[in-house]
């Protein structure tokens, strides 16, 4: 609808753009949308009302109401934000949930971590990602986004039944965290032995989107890669009969756009007073830009500093490649929802932010687009997830 783009909203977006740093020019930003709301508004495969009003929070500004269409346009301009319509209370309290009594490190589980890492393989991630990218899109409000979520849940359950011992299986629960849209988030919990009320979270987002959500979005790197990265870590931990002291959870969020899925989950945990001691997000883990040094990008803005320092220690101890510090801006992935809720959260990405995959949010975010897409690189992040689970979960 042209009308919804008139006047205040366009002026608002123009105002907002100066807050967007050039470092964020990663995902086809500055793209002008070639589509209008009428083009696809009645597509039967989507449950999306482009005229629906949503409350959106951009960095350093008061929340503003805008339509779904305007949200899509803001994203195309390279802006990151929280859609806080359903989680307005999330950042309200200054209450510190960071459980300052929790100490991150020193590392004490070298032999066990190295033993589990030695069982990681690219075979699972390859097969899983081929299947996961075969859905036309994993957009959270699409039919195929629901189908991909159901497939992921069945894969998690298959791995659980194949890889976990009978006694371990009794401690594992996989559940769907439902939302007001069709695609659920998925939460798999390995119940802790000694301190089950303390929770360590390892996460990725399962959905994908094209810049214009009605177009195909294979989402191989964003964030199919993170999805299968943590799934492989989960498989290897189960094969090794990992019985943690704390509860260790794997989360696959729905709806990264606006961070809707992770905000809903973080909001629920906060409301229930759940003590999340550490959260680590994996979003894009497979890209090694031609001519660049292979490295792990450690995000240093909008992340918990102590936990980030600990994460660097894990990389130095357990990975084959070095890290590089990098920044990705406000609300750039799901760790931000947990940070907003007051929990210690971190984010690790495939490279320095400027060297990350530029094909995301397009039909070119495919495994076979370039030999820069690397499963051995992805596997370094599975190592990191394993190390995070064991060193913080205890064993
Ligand atoms: Zn992402």
- Tell me the pLDDT tens digit for each residue of 183-204: 999 999 999 999 999 999 999 9
220 with 352, same domain? yes
Looking at per-residue confidence, does 152 or 78 come out higher? 152
CA of 284 to the centre of ligand 1 (A): 7
Mean pLDDT computed over 350-368: 97
Does residue 16 carry a pLDDT above 70?
A: no
Ligand 1 (ion): residues with CB under 5 Å are 222-223, 256, 283
Domain assignment of residue 91, yes or no: no
58 with 15, same domain? yes
Look at residues 185, 333, 347 and name the one whose alpha carbon lies nearest to residue 279: 347
Per-residue confidence at 257, pLDDT binned at 50, 70, 90?
confident
Which pLDDT score is estimated for 102? 83
CA of 203 to the centre of ligand 1 (A): 11
CA of 213 to the centre of ligand 1 (A): 14
Which pLDDT score is estimated for 18? 30
CA of 285 to the centre of ligand 1 (A): 10
Domain assignment of residue 368, yes or no: yes
Which pLDDT score is estimated for 377? 98
Does residue 4 carry a pLDDT above 60?
A: no
57 with 189, same domain? no
Domain assignment of residue 100, yes or no: no
Q: How far is CA 22 from CA 90, 117, 283, 290, in A?
A: 29, 37, 20, 21
CA of 392 to the centre of ligand 1 (A): 24
The structure tokens 């301190």 sit at 195
CA dist 131 and 152 (Å) reads: 10
Out of 47, 64, 83, a domain closes at: 83
- The boundaries of the domain holding residue 34 are 3-83
pTM of the shown model? 0.91
275 with 235, same domain? yes
Domain assignment of residue 285, yes or no: yes
CA dist 377 and 285 (Å) reads: 7
Mean pLDDT computed over 132-145: 97
User: Rounded to 5 degrees, what angle do the CA atoms 145, 73, 46 make?
Assistant: 25
Counted domains in the chain: 2
> At 237, which helix (H) or strand (E)?
helix 226-239
Which pLDDT score is estimated for 349? 98
Which pLDDT score is estimated for 74? 92
189 with 278, same domain? yes
> Minimum mean pLDDT among 27-31, 282-286, 339-343: which range?
27-31
59 with 118, same domain? no
Per-residue confidence at 89, pLDDT binned at 50, 70, 90?
confident
* Average pLDDT value for the chain: 90
């Amino acid at each position: 609808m042209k009308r919804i783009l008139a006047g205040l909203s366009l002026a608002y977006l123009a105002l907002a753009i100066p807050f967007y740093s050039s470092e964020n020019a990663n995902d086809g930003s500055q793209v002008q949308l070639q589509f209008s709301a009428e083009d696809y508004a009645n597509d039967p495969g989507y449950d999306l009302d482009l005229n629906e009003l949503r409350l959106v929070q951009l960095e350093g500004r008061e929340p503003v109401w805008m339509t779904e269409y305007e949200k899509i346009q803001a994203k195309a301009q390279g802006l990151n934000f929280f859609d806080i319509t359903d989680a307005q209370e999330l950042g309200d309290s200054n209450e510190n949930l960071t459980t300052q009594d929790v100490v991150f490190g020193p590392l004490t589980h070298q032999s066990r971590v190295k033993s589990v890492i030695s069982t990681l393989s690219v075979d699972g991630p390859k097969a899983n990602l081929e299947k996961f990218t075969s859905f036309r899109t994993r957009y959270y409000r699409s039919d195929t986004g629901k189908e991909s979520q159901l497939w992921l849940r069945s894969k998690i359950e298959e791995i659980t039944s194949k890889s976990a011992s009978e006694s371990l299986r009794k401690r594992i629960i996989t559940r769907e965290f439902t939302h007001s849209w069709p695609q659920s988030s998925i939460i798999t919990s390995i119940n802790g032995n000694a301190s089950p009320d303390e929770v360590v979270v390892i996460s990725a987002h399962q959905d994908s989107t094209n810049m214009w959500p009605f177009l195909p979005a294979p989402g191989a790197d964003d964030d199919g890669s993170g999805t299968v990265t943590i799934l492989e870590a989960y498989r290897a931990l189960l094969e090794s009969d990992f019985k943690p002291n704390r509860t260790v959870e794997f989360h696959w969020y729905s709806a990264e756009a606006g961070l809707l899925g992770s905000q809903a989950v973080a909001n629920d945990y906060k409301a229930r007073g759940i003590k999340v001691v550490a959260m680590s997000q994996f979003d894009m883990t497979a890209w090694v830009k031609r001519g660049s040094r292979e490295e792990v990008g450690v995000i240093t803005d909008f992340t918990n500093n102590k936990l980030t320092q600990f994460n660097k220690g894990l990389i130095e101890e357990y990975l084959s490649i070095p890290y590089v510090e990098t920044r990705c801006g406000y609300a750039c992935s799901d760790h931000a929802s947990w940070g907003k809720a007051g929990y210690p959260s971190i984010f690790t990405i495939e490279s320095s932010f400027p060297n990350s995959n530029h094909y995301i949010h397009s039909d070119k975010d495919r495994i076979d687009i370039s030999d820069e897409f690397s499963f051995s690189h992805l596997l370094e992040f599975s190592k990191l997830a394993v190390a995070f689970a064991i060193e913080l979960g205890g064993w």
